[in-house]
Chain A
Amino acid sequence: MEFRNDLVKGSITPVILKLLSERELYGYEIVKVVNERTGGALEWKEGTLYPCLHQLEADGLLTAEWRDTPSGKSRKYYRVTRRGRAELAHRVREWTQFSSAVNAVLLGSPA
Chain B
Amino acid sequence: MNTFDDLIESATRRLRPDPELRQEVARELRGHLEDAADGARARGCAEDDAQQEALRSFGDADALADRLWQANRRRMRLRAVARWAGRIVLVPLTVLVALWLALGTLDFTEFMGLCGQVGGAAPLSFPHYLNPGLRDHTLRPRAGLSDEDRFVNEHRTGAAGAREIVDHYPNNTLYRAHRATMRLSHPNKSGTFSPTDLAEVLAQLDAGERLDPDNAYWNYMKAAAHIFLSGAATDEEDESFAYTRRWRDGTVKRVYGFRLSITDALSFEQGMVEYRKGLAKPRYDSYNMTFAAHILSLNKKPTTLVGEMAAVAITAGALLPDLARMRQLTRCATARARQLAREGHRDEAEILLRTAPVPASQMAMNSRSLIELMVAANMRQAALREGAVVYEQLGATAKAAKCRDLAELDQDRFNSLFGDSAYQRLVLDRGAILSGILLPGIRLTDLAILDDVRLAERALVESAALGLVALAFLAVITWVGAAVLFALWRHRKDARGPRLYFVGWRRLGLVLVVAVAMPLTAYWAFTRLTPFASVNYGLNVTTIQTLAEMAVAGLTILVLSIVVGAWAVRARCRAVKLDDPVQLRQTRRRCLIPVLAVCMLTVGLISHTYVRWNEYRHISALQQPGRRLFLDEVDYTSAAQYRDYLRSLPHHGALE
Contacts and interface: CB of A to CB of B under 8 A. Distances in A.
Contacts of A55: 70-71
A58 B67 CA distance: 14
A47 B11 CA distance: 9
Interface in A32-52: 32, 45-48, 50-52
B32 A51 contact: no
B62 to A, nearest CB: 11
Contacts of B29: 47, 50
Nearest to A69: B31
27 contacts: A27-B28, A27-B31, A27-B32, A28-B32, A32-B39, A46-B57, A47-B29, A47-B58, A48-B59, A50-B25, A50-B32, A50-B64, A50-B68, A51-B64, A51-B67, A51-B68, A51-B70, A54-B68, A54-B72, A54-B75, A55-B71, A65-B575, A66-B575, A73-B34, A74-B31, A76-B24, A76-B28
Given A47-B61, A66-B577, A74-B31, 6 more contacts: A45-B57, A50-B29, A50-B71, A51-B64, A54-B71, A58-B74
Given A48-B67, A50-B68, A65-B575, A73 B59 contact: no
Interface string B54-66: 0001111101100
A49 to B, nearest CB: 8
B71 A66 contact: no
B293 to A, nearest CB: 65
A47 B64 contact: yes
- Interface size range of chain B in the complex: 20 to 34
A58 B58 contact: no
Interface string A14-31: 000000000000111001
Interface in B33-81: 34-36, 39, 57-61, 63-64, 67-68, 70-72, 74-75
Contacts of A65: 575
Interface string A68-93: 00000111100000000000000000
- What's the dominant secondary structure at chain B's contact region? helix
Nearest to B67: A51
A59 to B, nearest CB: 9
A62 B37 CA distance: 27
B71 A46 contact: no
Interface size classification for chain A? 20 to 34
Contact of B576 (A27, A48, A66): A66
Given A54-B71, A66-B575, A46 B36 contact: yes
A73 B31 contact: yes
Contact of B59 (A47, A54, A75, A76): A47
Nearest to A28: B35
B58 A46 contact: yes
B36 A28 contact: yes
Nearest to A68: B577
A58 B72 contact: yes
A108 B605 CA distance: 70
Contacts of A46: 32, 36, 57-59
A74 B28 CA distance: 9
A76 B75 CA distance: 17
Contact of B28 (A31, A48, A50): A50
Interface centre among B28, B57, B64 (most CB of A within 10 A): B28
Contacts of B31: 26-28, 73-76
A65 B61 CA distance: 25
Nearest to A48: B59
A51 B71 contact: yes
B81 to A, nearest CB: 15
